[in-house]
Chains A and B, each alone.
Chain A
Amino acid sequence: MEKPLSKNIDPGKEPLDLKGYESTGGYQAVRKALLELEPKQVTELVKQSNLRGRGGAGFPTGIKWSFVPMAEGKPDPEKLAETLEEVDLGTRLERGGAGMAVGPKWRFAPYIDDVPYPKYLIANADEMEPGTFKDRYLLEGDPHQVVESMIVSAYAIQASVGYIFLRWAYHEAARRLRKAIQSAYQAGYLGKDILGSGYDFDLYLHTGAGRYMAGEETGLLNSLEGKRANPRTKPPFPQTSGLWGKPSIVNNVETLCNVPHIINKGPEWFKGLSLTEDSGTKIYGVSGKVNRPGVWELPMGTTLRELIEEHAGGMQNGLKFRGALPGGASTDFLIEEHLDICMDFPSVQAAGSRLGTGTIIVLDDQTCPVGFVHNLEVFFARESCGWCTPCREGLPWSVDLLRAIEDGEGQPGDLEILDELTKNLGPGLTFCALAPGAMEPLQSALKYFREDFERHINEGKCTWR
């Protein structure tokens, strides 16, 4: 079984350095893309591979990229150099008249070939979805793979600047990425005229300062601009108007890491990795009271049962499987009858949930489902940015009700109010996906574990305590 994403990863050891990474075929995709392929061909290969976003939404990556405005053919380095102005910080002001000073020696031009300049590629490494620990594995385990994936993907959309937006808590990943970026610059894979291709790309590591919202696509853009991580209205979409109003692509780390392999081995190979019609491998994880919690790279479409019973070693002694969130805190519960579903985007959706991040959180029969959901809603209420009313007001309300029920103070009618909240905070009624995501485990818990909620209210106590 091929494991392209994790073949170099040996947890507990330092990751491969530049030489080690090159010796396993690393940076070949940069050579191939920049020296042999046109940007649009790279996008085309990714489109054909049917790679879907691994951050949770599952949007096809190639299609996402194809919305970025592109000039015809390869960029002309001479023309680029002619058009670009190097501007010094403090000596002049931005042309728009907002009075904001521009960065020191920032290379500036509003348009090149009628296409906005610069364009940006951002790796979303702000992994903060509760129960999710897969990107950490890739970031710490093979930082050069992350760097290479950014160069190839940036070339496809002709981005000239890239950021890895890393959550603050991943200090080890930060240290390893800094080192990898530095050695990639020294080897000429980053910076000006990469490998003599005429393509320039600068890559920076940006570390956050907390808040789940900083991982939401448009919240991330605001945070990167140094603002509060509130979401933005869409449209305009980031592909046309993102960071500082310029075309920008935000991709999850695992999504990006697939790209060099697709370029090296082709879309058909990538499709063949999977057990189902969704392509590639997936970094799955399992946490909760199982014997061997962990992460594994497996073919896309591996069943929930295989993940829990084989890879995670089954439930801990004396415990039974009761349910699971298949892809992080903001996905609907699956229960025993779903154990044999394939963990890919369409199959999990058909079962009423989402593949999300593919990291499974297991609920056992000795844990109170009301307490479980209460913990989730406390998280979501705390992390709401307060930008829109349903989320800001609705989430704390759900927490109050769940706490009362858990403490034996629930009233008849509380469940109906919770039912109503799951609708009023649902998709389309809020600025971003935080509140609708928060409602997914709640609505499915009310469906599958309703008798537990009712018993709490009828008996006036939590029967697990």
Chain B
Amino acid sequence: MLSDEERQELEKEIEHYEFKRAACIEGLKILQQYRGGWVSDESIKDLADFLEMSPEQVDNVATFYNLIFRKPVGKNVILLCDSISCWLMGCETIQEYFKERLGIGLGETSADGQFTLLPMACLGACERAPAIMIGEQLYHNLTPEKLNLILDQLKASQVKESASGEIDGKTAQ
């Protein structure tokens, strides 16, 4: 079942197109965002009902696009640019760094469920290579030292977030 918020966003989206099903890709992105960062079979079915498509048709689209995730991913998805300019500037060192620091290779999620590492086609940051994207944030001119700082900050801010969440929870009780 679509939530009210999901339905509202989907309805806004279909206004942009002559045909409803054009919102399929955007719809997958919306459900992915609301539902833990990935698209489950249930999400496929909900969207299919809304767009008057079959679940198979929606899944056909979902499995084509590399930023629609059909399996659970970590809290932070790290997109590692491995295209030519980043390769020239050492993206392989960056990949090794993640293996050492987080114990994950491409396509893997860290044991604590915090990070998933995925390869990514050129991020268009070639003059600032090597580059990665975490969430909507681009990080560039990377070195292992710089990455250490980025990951430390990210972990610290998320620990703070979940801590404040707990406090809110207790107040609510």
The chain A residues found within 8 Å of chain B, CB to CB, are 89, 94, 100-106, 108, 118, 127-133, 135-136, 161, 163, 167-172, 204, 206-212, 223-229, 244, 285-289, 293-295, 325, 329, 359, 361-362, 367, 371-372, 375-376, 378-379, 382-383, 385
| Among B60, B120, B127, contact of A133 (Cβ-Cβ < 8 Å) | B127
Let me know if B125 and A133 touch, CB within 8 A.
Answer: yes
Contact B129–A169 (Cβ < 8 Å): no
Q: State A172–B24 Cα separation when bound (angstroms).
A: 23
Given A131-B83, A225-B19, A226-B61, A288 and B14 contact (CB-CB distance below 8 Å)? no
Q: Say yes or no: A103 contacts B15, CB within 8 Å.
A: yes
Q: B88 contacts A288, CB within 8 Å?
A: yes
Smallest CB gap from B87: residue in A: A375
Sample of 5 more A-B contacts, CB < 8 Å, known A108-B18, A133-B125, A171-B136: A101-B19, A128-B122, A131-B83, A209-B25, A294-B127
- Can you list 21 A-B contacts with CB-CB less than 8 angstroms, sorted by A residue number? A89-B20, A101-B20, A103-B14, A129-B122, A133-B126, A163-B16, A167-B124, A171-B138, A172-B138, A206-B26, A207-B29, A223-B25, A225-B22, A227-B61, A229-B64, A244-B19, A288-B89, A359-B126, A362-B88, A371-B87, A372-B88
Say yes or no: is B67 at the interface (Cβ < 8 Å to chain A): yes
Q: What are the residues of chain B within 8 A of A361 when measuring CB–CB? A: 84-85, 88, 126
Q: Is B147 an interface residue (CB 8 A)?
A: no
| 5 closest residue pairs by CB, A with B | A226-B24, A287-B126, A130-B83, A209-B65, A210-B67
Given contacts A168-B67, A210-B65, A226-B25, contact A131 B85 (CB under 8 A): yes
- How many whole Å from A277's CB to the nearest CB in chain B? 29
Residue in B18, B60, B88 whose beta carbon sits within 8 Å of that of A289 in the complex:
B88
Which chain B residues lie closer than 8 Å to A168 at the CB level?
A: 67
Q: How far is the CA of A225 from the CA of B21 in the complex (A)?
A: 7
How many angstroms between the C-alpha atoms of A182 and B44 in the bound complex?
A: 32
Chain B residues touching A, majority SS:
mixed
CB of B60 within 8 A of CB of A228, answer yes
Within 8 A of A (CB), among B93-141: 119-129, 133, 136, 138
- Point out the residues of chain B lying under 8 angstroms from A163, CB to CB: 16
B28 at the interface (CB under 8 A from A): yes
Residue of B nearest to A169 (CB): B123
Name which residue of chain A comes closest to B16, CB basis: A204
| A391 to B17 alpha-carbon distance, docked (Å) | 32
Say if the beta carbon of B23 comes within 8 Å of chain A.
yes
Measured CB to CB, the nearest residue on chain B to A293 is: B127
- CA separation between A105 and B16, bound complex, in Å? 10
Bound form: Cα–Cα A398–B125 in Å: 27
- Complex CA–CA separation, A315 to B88 (angstroms): 13
- Kindly list chain B residues whose C-beta atoms are within 8 Å of the C-beta of A161: 18
Contact of B84 among A127, A135, A379 (CB under 8 A): A379
For A102, give its contact among B18, B87, B119, B128 (CB under 8 Å): B18
* Cβ–Cβ < 8 Å partners of A376 in chain B: 84
Which of chain A's residues have a CB closer than 8 A to the CB of B15?
103-105
Pick the residue among A104, A169, A244, A325 that contacts B124 (CB under 8 A): A169
Find out whether the CB atom of B126 lies under 8 angstroms from the CB atom of A293: yes
- CA–CA, A207 and B84, complex, Å: 24
User: Taking the complex as formed, is B52 at the interface, i.e. its CB lies under 8 A from any CB of chain A?
Assistant: yes
| Chain A residues positioned under 8 Å from B84 (CB to CB) | 130-131, 325, 329, 361, 372, 375-376, 379
Are A226 and B67 neighbours in the complex by a CB distance under 8 Å? no
Query: When the two chains form their complex, are residues A211 and B126 in contact, meaning their CB atoms are under 8 A apart?
Result: no
For the complex, give the distance between the alpha carbons of A101 and B152 in Å.
Answer: 49
Residues of B within 8 A of A133 (CB): 124-127
How long is the Cα–Cα vector from A229 to B64 in the complex, in angstroms? 8
Tell me if A130 and B122 are in contact (CB < 8 A). Answer: yes
- Measured between alpha carbons, how far is A287 from B141 in the docked complex, in Å? 12
A209 near B68 (CB under 8 angstroms)?
yes
A206 CA to B128 CA, complexed, in Å = 26
Instruction: Give every chain B residue within 8 A of A108 (Cβ-Cβ).
Output: 18
CB of B22 within 8 A of CB of A169, answer no
CB <8 Å contact, B22 and A224:
yes
Cβ contact of A226, chosen from B23, B120, B124, cutoff 8 A: B23
The residue in chain B whose Cβ has the minimal distance to the Cβ of A139 is B124
Given A130-B83, A376-B84 in contact, is the A136-B124 Cβ separation under 8 Å? yes
Residue-wise, chain B 21-38 has the 8 Å CB interface mask toward A (1 for contact) of: 111111011000000000
B82 proximity list for chain A (CB < 8 A): 375, 378-379
**CB of B100, distance to nearest CB on chain A (Å):** 20
Chain B nearest Cβ from A239, distance in angstroms: 18
The complex places the Cα of A207 from the Cα of B32 at a distance, in Å, of 15
- The answer to the question of B153 belonging to the interface, with a C-beta cut-off of 8 Å to chain A, is no
B126 to chain A, nearest CB (A): 4
